[in-house]
Amino acid sequence: MTGRSSRREFIAGMGTLAASSSLSGVALASASQSPSAQLAKSPFKISVITDEISQDFGHACEVASQQFGMGWVEIRSLWNKNIVNLDAKEISQALEILKKNKLRVTDIASPLFKVDWAGAPKSKFSQERDQFNANFTFAQQGEVLDRGIEMAKKLATDRIRCFDFWRLDDQAPHRKSINETLHNAAEKAGKAGLILILENEFACNTATGAEAAKTLAGVTSRHFMLNWDPGNAAKLGEIPYPDAYQLLPKGRIGHCHVKDVTKTANGYEWAAMGQGNIDWAGQFAALKRDGFHFAVSLETHWRGAGTPEASSIQSWAGMKEALQKAGAI
């Protein structure tokens, strides 16, 4: 071997080593990327409903921020009180906890309109009273909306969640009046600079994607959007993605709840994320494709891991995997 060829080989070898070191550095940087930095790159605001972890708001926020790496939370109930029932001291404490954990609020998950529709037969679902430490009457719904607006302002969010009244066997005679009520509430929220997001809830009149599309068509306020919940739609036997999702006006989806269900001999039961029937990777990919940039919020519901916190930790792992498959984180 000549000195010249030896020198060329040495230089080439050094170039290969440099390139290899550079690639290793990129791989190392990617591998060491913090969970929060990874989630921050998502087109979505990745969130969890805090009471799905714990009623201890401080602890729930620590798990969401430090363990999950999230920058967002959704608030429904905390310290065994509904969000709209907090007093001034509790609001101040909640704000301190959010600031400490560098968290922002996706929406006020209020119980608005999760009541019987006045003048209609009592719904068989109204006995469930699943209102997360809230129990308001039909006559108090104006107060609930006012409190929701107040809380949204104080917690620096631009949207409030609502429902479509407990499910009736025949909603047709009341549908026009219900739509007017939803429209008026949305307009009131709009005057405050806020959006009213309607959750499709299996125990309410708007339960499925097909019903959500009809309700959105009947309530045309630009301040009224859908809180799309594929899990609730699946509870009534609908295939949420792709079937139901295809029916929805994509520009009016303003929030998304994330949970899974599985079919059993007795109907449908909640499941750990990724262990149920819903194609969440496909749903996330479709939301990304269609320009959705609002919150995807984990609402575990499943309790198979023994505690809300353990179940949410396991479901977050399934949600994160689906987000990765969809190219959303």
pLDDT tens-digit profile of 260-303? Answer: 999 999 899 999 999 999 999 999 999 999 999 999 999 999 99
Give the pLDDT confidence score for residue 246 in this predicted structure: 98
Chain centre to alpha carbon of residue 158: 14
Dump pLDDT digits (tens) for 72-89: 999 999 999 999 999 999
- Contact call for residues 155 and 250 (beta carbons, < 8 A): no
Distance (Å, whole) CA 231 – CA 203: 12
- What is the crossing angle of helices 175-191 and 141-154, to 10°? 30
> In the structure encoding, which two tokens stand for residue 232, read together?
């609730």
- pLDDT over 90, % of the chain: 86
Give the pLDDT confidence score for residue 129 in this predicted structure: 56
Does the pLDDT value for residue 128 go beyond 70? Answer: no
Q: Which helix (H) or strand (E) holds 288?
A: helix 280-289
3-state secondary structure 215-233: HHHHCCCCCEEEEECHHHH
Give the pLDDT confidence score for residue 135 in this predicted structure: 83
Give the pLDDT confidence score for residue 32 in this predicted structure: 54
Question: Any residues with CB less than 8 A from the CB of 61 and at least 6 apart, and which?
Answer: 50, 73, 97, 98, 100, 101, 103
Which among 53, 44, 39 has a CA at the least distance from the CA of 283? 44
> In the structure encoding, which two tokens stand for residue 23, read together?
């690639």
> In the structure encoding, which two tokens stand for residue 48, read together?
């969890």
Mean pLDDT of all residues in the chain?
91
Average pLDDT estimate for 182-201: 98
106-120, 128-142, 212-226, range with the lowest pLDDT: 128-142
Indicate the pTM of the whole model: 0.89
Which among 142, 36, 4, 150 has a CA at the least distance from the CA of 84? 150
Distance (Å, whole) CA 244 – CA 278: 12
4-13, 179-188, 195-204, 314-323, range with the lowest pLDDT: 4-13
DSSP secondary structure letter of residue 101? T
Give the pLDDT confidence score for residue 134 in this predicted structure: 77
SS3 of 267, please?
A: strand
Average pLDDT estimate for 121-127: 90
